[in-house]
Amino acid sequence: MHNIYGIIFFIFHLSIEVISYMLLYLRFGTSVSAYIILIYDFFAFVPQAIFGDIHNKNKKINLGFIAVIFFTISVLLIKTDNNVIYLLAILLISFANAILHECGAIAVATVSKKNIFPSALFVSGGTIGIVIGRYFASNNISINYLFVFIIIILSILAFTDKVWCREDVTYIDVNIVNVDKSKKIIFISAFFVLAVRSFMGFVLPLAWKENFFHVVLLSLFLGIGKAWGGYLCDTIGYRKVAFISTVICVPFIILGNRFMLLSLIGIMLFSMTMSITYAMLLSIIKNNPGVAFGVTTIGLFVGVVPLLFARFNGNVNVIIIVVLSLISYLILRLVLK
């Protein structure tokens, strides 16, 4: 059942991002300002832990239905010429995205037992949805198609809430960290690796990326890496996956700057750390997967912040990738069982 839930919420996550990114890019196309992106990222990523904790204290309430209302209002407001109303729509999109991410993460965590793969499947759907949403926006696909995805989200929420919106629910139980390490050290370690993964995603050398097809391939391999990383964590262990995703990936990423296949393999390997960091947080934030998942999204946001102030290229990128990857591996080796 847990893998079926992973697939269902893969579709759920994909639908969330199709709606979010079509609405985000609909008005300005590819020229959306960094200011708008920053507002969206902040309110979509940072509050997730808060929504997770709200659910934990009110387990019978399905917050996802509120998010669906937010999405529906945003569809009606997004084409306005009034900048204030447009910003309101962006905020509603962001909050809807944050709430629904939490719903998916919590729902999957209720059926996963000791397996991280279903959660990895859920997360991997987002990368595909982002590409589809941006494609819809840039090709003037009718906004009315978004109601199909809203109905998908609404249906999944309605048919699954009896499983995860209950007081007597139990969550995934993973214990992958050294018990002799303090929770603070484990928390900081997971947060650092999360921020590094987010930051590196924007400094990867990708001279081969020239068109939309390349963007699709990039997103596809990112998604495969997230899902496969979860599967491997369950089968060969977290420490081995840590080595693969932080050390083995480096030569592929660096040598793949002008060789697409090598780069895609490196990107796939590098994205496997998602399951490790989430499982680390689940190991210390027991019985509250919403907060654990929310911490991961805060880490991802923090990793993007340096890019608002500086741009890196050439040999600097290579040095950054090598150093941060090795530091991440040493940290994971220290705290993982």
pLDDT tens digits along 294-337 = 999 999 999 988 877 767 676 677 888 899 999 999 999 999 98
Q: Which residues contact 136 (CB under 8 A, 6 or more apart)?
A: 18, 22, 145
Mean of the pLDDT values across residues 177-182?
87
pLDDT band at 224, cuts 50/70/90?
Answer: very high
The model's pLDDT over 100-147, given as tens digits with 9 standing for 90+, comes to 999 999 999 999 989 999 999 999 999 999 999 999 998 889 999 999
Percent pLDDT > 70 in the chain is 98
The domain defined by 183-335 folds into Growth Hormone; Chain: A; (1.20.1250)
The model's pLDDT over 266-305, given as tens digits with 9 standing for 90+, comes to 999 999 999 999 999 999 999 999 999 999 999 999 998 8
pLDDT at 304: 87
pLDDT at 305: 84
Q: What is the C-alpha radius of gyration for the chain, rounded to an integer number of angstroms?
A: 19
287 Rama class: left (phi>0) / alpha (psi -120 to 50) / beta? left
Is residue 32 predicted with pLDDT exceeding 80?
A: no
Averaging pLDDT over each range in 153-162, 192-201, 210-219, 303-312, which range is the top one?
153-162
List the structure tokens of 296: 């991961």
Task: Map residue 237 onto helix, strand or coil.
Answer: coil
| First vs last C-alpha separation in the chain | 28
Is residue 265 predicted with pLDDT exceeding 90?
A: yes
Mean of the pLDDT values across residues 197-204?
86
Rounded-to-integer distance, Cα 48 and Cα 204, Å: 27
List the structure tokens of 189: 């370690």
Binning the chain into helix, strand and coil, the percentages to the nearest 5 are 80, 0, 20
